[in-house]
Amino acid sequence: MENTGFSPLCEKIIEKGAFKAAVIKTDDVETDASFRTLCEQNVCGSYGRNWMCPPDAGEINELIGVLHSYEYILVYQSVGTLEDSFDIEGMAEAAINHHKLMYEVKKTADCEKFRRVLYLGAGGCRLCEKCARITNEPCRNPERAIPSLEAYGVNVSQLAKAAGMKYINGQNTVTYFGAVLFDL
């Protein structure tokens, strides 16, 4: 259930371009270690090719433990509009816009001076044009790199529901999620 005590923060995130934002308790987040199997199938092409994705992001049960060690999670979503369901360019543009939003959210949440904070995004980190993992070099920007919700075993469709959001926002749209875990 949404914690309305954080409404001013959520409003700021919406002003930055999010479609919706809400804070819930991490106790209400469903995680599942078996999601790692989906990552291993490498449909997105990032498995073993991005420092913030599996297997390099960390062992699934450890990451689930880290997630649940936080008290709150700010969930936000962005919605991109597509010309039709084959609009690959529109999807790419929506992904870029969501990536920009993730760093705007980070800037905003950093100002809150939370005791502990962890940022999670949609898919692998896209900060560099080509992740250094591909050439087996160290991460170029570990302070700003953002791991994926999937890497932490989050059931994103359940997360949406728990935060009072739709997982899919209608025909010819694409919805991306991001999250900020924090302790006061």
Residues at the contact surface with ligand SF4, assessed by CB under 6 A = 50-52, 125, 127-128, 131-133, 139-141, 145
Contact 44, 176 (CB under 8 A): no
Alpha helices in the chain (DSSP H): 7-15, 35-40, 60-69, 88-110, 156-162
How far from 154 is each of 60, 65, 66, CA to CA, in Å? 10, 11, 12
CB of 2 to ligand SF4, least distance (A): 31
HSE at residue 27, side-chain half, CA atoms within 13 A, is 5
Q: Which is nearer to ligand SF4, 146 or 163 (CB)?
A: 146
Instruction: Report CA 119 to chain centroid distance, whole Å.
Output: 7
Q: Running DSSP on this structure, what letter comes out for residue 37?
A: H
Q: Which is nearer to ligand SF4, 77 or 148 (CB)?
A: 148
Q: Which is nearer to ligand SF4, 82 or 117 (CB)?
A: 117
CB of 57 to ligand SF4, least distance (A): 9
154/73 Cα distance (integer angstroms): 12
CB of 141 to ligand SF4, least distance (A): 4
Q: Which is nearer to ligand SF4, 74 or 139 (CB)?
A: 139
Contact 177, 159 (CB under 8 A): yes
CB of 148 to ligand SF4, least distance (A): 11
Residues paired with residue 71 on neighbouring β-strands, in sequence order: none
Q: Which is nearer to ligand SF4, 49 or 161 (CB)?
A: 49
CB of 166 to ligand SF4, least distance (A): 29
CB of 161 to ligand SF4, least distance (A): 29
Instruction: Report CA 117 to chain centroid distance, whole Å.
Output: 13
Report the SS3 class of residue 46.
coil
Q: Which is nearer to ligand SF4, 42 or 141 (CB)?
A: 141
